[in-house]
Chain A
Amino acid sequence: QSALTQPASVSGSPGQSITISCTGTSSDVGSYNLLSWYQQYPGKAPKFIIYEVNKRPSGVSNRFSGSKSGNTASLTISGLQAEDEADYYCCSYAGSRTFVFGGGTKLTVL
């Protein structure tokens, strides 16, 4: 069970859109639509912003959206804002009632 692969960092200017990828295998991301995305500010607990690939919890901005193709899931943030600067993690069901996280991506808003 290896960690899902995410880019270490991405950046964008206010108003732009960015996409963060999360690549797994046919044993985790590719097999289940059970993948969540988390936003984490420094020193704070993660907050879930997307679940089941593309569903948003109530209260989460519709600027956040999720998708999946094959073994790769993606988080897109549109209309980038300064407050979006944070670390982002994906997490997938990996079978046998286990979960695996991605390595995390640091988003910088230029």
Chain B
Amino acid sequence: QVQLQESGPGLVKPSETLSLTCTVSGGSISSYYWSWIRQPPGKGLEWIGYIYYDKSTNYNPSLKSRVTISVDTSRTQFSLRLNSVTAADTAVYYCARHELGGNPRFDYWGQGTLVTVSS
């Protein structure tokens, strides 16, 4: 059974960089696409971006200037960096898997991790 687990600081200061890692277990990281999705408290879901195991990426145009997603296949992990954060970036951040780059069929999700941006 594939499992995803997000990890990283739960509190980030304004203007700093948010960094999260998603560890994949129970399955291969190869041949799949791996996305980050976030959800501000009490609000809806927002797709942030994805990476393929070959390190190719695509990002939400509204966040593209601040986002970097990377992958470490040897450690079956992929990571999110979001710089210059503000309070608007406070959200539960999820990692999720999909089989095709153009198909929003997110079949496995992490449990989510809350990141609060505050001084």
Contacts and interface: CB of A to CB of B under 8 A. Distances in A.
Nearest to B95: A45
A103 B43 CA distance: 8
Given A1-B62, A45-B111, A45-B112, A101 B105 contact: no
A104 interface: yes
A46 B111 CA distance: 9
Contact of A36 (B37, B43, B105, B109): B105
Contacts, number: 69
Interface string B81-96: 0000000000000100
Contacts of A92: 104
A16 B43 CA distance: 27
A36 to B, nearest CB: 5
A96 B50 CA distance: 12
Interface size grouping (class) on chain B: 20 to 34
| Main secondary structure on B side of the interface with A | loop
B60 interface: yes
A99 interface: yes
B102 A100 contact: no
B103 A51 contact: yes
A68 B107 CA distance: 21
Interface of B: 35, 37, 43-47, 50, 58-62, 94, 101-107, 109-112
Interface of A: 1, 3, 32, 34-36, 38, 44-48, 51-52, 57, 89, 91-93, 96-104
7 residue pairs, one from A and one from B, having the closest CB atoms: A45-B109, A97-B58, A104-B44, A51-B105, A91-B104, A101-B45, A99-B47
